[in-house]
């Protein structure tokens, strides 16, 4: 077999692999929606507390999670009781150890669900309420996070293509399918892992743009937003701060005059993580 024939065979195999990944991902995603009549797509302990930051603010107008936990359909009775009996903060609130990043990125999808409910009620579906838990919210939030997963994979391909050129798509999809992200970005979308991946890929994409045009702050701004969002999604992702720090060091060595613009863009790193739980 000639080299060109081998190359075509490898390319065809990679294409089928990518298609297979999409099919498996779509089936996992749809399986969660199909289960909604019996159990919430947002179910789970971590999932619930990720969501409470948003739902409590939008429905209750506060971050006192007692009413949310009483009304939620995302926890078993045992987990609900456990959550309601957590030791209170100094101000008497139920603590939430989970970051706010997932809730921040979910806000547009929540507002879309509010709009769908409003239109449905205008046409007579008065049983639909703005409760944050009914199937309208589940579908909008799940679909929104699935779209974020696709966007994150696209950003990852752009970044990897800058390193290796051809083969980036197949490489990213192989790594994705072999990792827990296949589950977290298709089936368990209300866990924070998918948002964390999106945030890190956004930060890496921003750094890639910044290295191409270091005097322009836009790439550094994207990097700051991405890595800052990663930190408030999963606090242990602060380790990724080494990437913009190294990029700044390289810039200082090679083009010191561009450092002020880079620092201006990276201010987002210090802007986003200021959100913290009111104790």
Q: How far is CA 117 from CA 58, 130, 136, in A?
A: 14, 7, 7
Count CB neighbours of 225 within 10 A: 20
pLDDT of residue 213: 80
pLDDT of residue 5: 58
Contact predicate 228/194, CB 8 Å: no
Contact predicate 258/219, CB 8 Å: no
Residues of the chain where predicted confidence (pLDDT) is lower than 70: 1-14, 268-279
Q: What is the pLDDT of residues 11-22, one digit of tens each?
A: 666 677 778 878
Cβ-count burial 145-181 (b if 16+ within 10 Å, e if not): bbebbeebbebbbbbbbeeeeeebbbbbbeebbeeeb
């Amino acid at each position: 077999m000639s080299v060109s024939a081998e190359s075509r065979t490898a390319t065809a195999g990679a294409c089928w692999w990518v298609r297979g990944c999409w099919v498996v991902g779509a089936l996992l995603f749809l399986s969660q929606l199909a289960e909604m009549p019996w159990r919430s797509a947002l179910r789970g302990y971590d999932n619930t507390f990720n969501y409470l930051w948003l739902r409590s603010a939008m429905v209750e107008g506060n971050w006192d999670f007692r009413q949310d936990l009483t009304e939620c359909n995302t926890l078993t009775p045992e987990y609900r009781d456990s959550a309601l009996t957590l030791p209170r903060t100094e101000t008497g609130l139920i603590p939430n150890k989970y970051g706010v990043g997932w809730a921040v990125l979910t806000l547009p999808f929540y507002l879309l669900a509010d709009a769908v409910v409003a239109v449905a009620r205008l046409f007579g579906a008065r049983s639909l309420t703005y409760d944050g838990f009914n199937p309208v919210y589940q579908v909008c939030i799940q679909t929104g996070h699935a779209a974020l997963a696709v966007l994150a994979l696209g950003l990852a391909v752009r970044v990897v293509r800058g390193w290796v050129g051809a083969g980036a798509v197949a490489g990213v999809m192989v790594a994705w399918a072999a990792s827990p992200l296949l589950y977290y970005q298709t089936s368990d979308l209300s866990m924070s892992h998918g948002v964390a991946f999106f945030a890190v890929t956004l930060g890496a994409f921003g750094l890639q743009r910044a290295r191409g045009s270091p005097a322009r702050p836009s790439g550094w701004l994207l990097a700051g937003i991405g890595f800052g969002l990663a930190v408030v999604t999963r606090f242990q992702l602060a380790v990724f701060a080494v990437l913009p720090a190294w990029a700044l060091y390289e810039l200082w060595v090679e083009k010191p005059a561009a450092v002020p613009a880079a620092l201006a863009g990276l201010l987002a790193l210090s802007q986003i993580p200021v959100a913290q739980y009111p104790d």
